Amino acid sequence: MAQWRDTMEQLVRDRERALLSYAYLVCGDPVQAQDLVQDALVRTFSRERPGLTSLKAEAYVRRAITSTYVDGYRRQQRWQRVQHLFKADAVVPDRFGQVEAGSDVAAALATLPPRVRACVVLRFFDDLTVPQIARQLGLAGGTVKRYLSDGLGQLELALGPLEDAAVADGAPAEGRNAR
């Protein structure tokens, strides 16, 4: 059990900032990012995983961050559909009241639906391929491609033309401009 504790302590000591940054990209809220990292650490280290090294542990934690965020979003959506049944006077929360002024990219990412956002972050932050994203999120490859296409389209609307769009599409930049 001490080995588990050592692995977790080393991961938190060496990669805490990277994990928090990753969680922030996934959810767009610094407080929620801290909660996601903590929940992911608990999910990863709450049971024995034979052969878990510090290199593998970070991958487990990143996967747990993404899964926890998507699961929480689903739970929230289900609750929003039935909460009117439990409250006499439903007060609509101000979703934009707590949004911090941040970078344009973070603001644009915040507008994406959770699965689209997860796909975009996994593709362009984690540099995963479409099949790897599909395996990690349990989706079909075509679905991941569709989410990436939709996400890039929405990001281009919010941010303007993306310089890396040609690279993302797999087409050479000069070939794209010639069309």
Same domain assignment for residues 3 and 37: yes
In a domain, 175, yes or no: no
How many structural domains are present in the chain? Answer: 2
In a domain, 92, yes or no: no
Structure tokens, 64: 């747990």
How far apart CA 63 and CA 88 sit, in angstroms, is: 39
In a domain, 8, yes or no: yes
| Boundaries of domain holding 77 | 1-86
Give me the pLDDT at residue 85, please.
Answer: 66
pTM comes to: 0.52
CATH number of the domain enclosing 150: 1.10.10.10
Count H helices and E strands in the chain, helices first: 9, 0
In a domain, 28, yes or no: yes
Same domain assignment for residues 82 and 102: no
Same domain assignment for residues 127 and 52: no
Same domain assignment for residues 77 and 102: no
100 contacts: CB under 8 Å, gap ≥ 6: 30
Within 10 A of 112 (CB to CB), how many other CB atoms are there? Answer: 20
Give me the pLDDT at residue 19, please.
Answer: 93
Same domain assignment for residues 81 and 102: no
Give me the pLDDT at residue 103, please.
Answer: 64
Per-residue pLDDT of the chain (179 residues), as tens digits, is 567 778 888 888 888 999 999 999 999 889 999 999 999 998 888 877 777 777 788 888 999 999 999 888 888 887 777 776 666 555 556 555 444 434 677 888 888 999 999 999 999 888 999 999 999 999 999 999 999 999 999 888 887 776 655 455 544 444 444 43
Give me the pLDDT at residue 77, please.
Answer: 82
In a domain, 93, yes or no: no
In a domain, 177, yes or no: no
Structural domain ending residue among the three candidates 23, 52, 86: 86
In a domain, 103, yes or no: yes
Same domain assignment for residues 2 and 80: yes
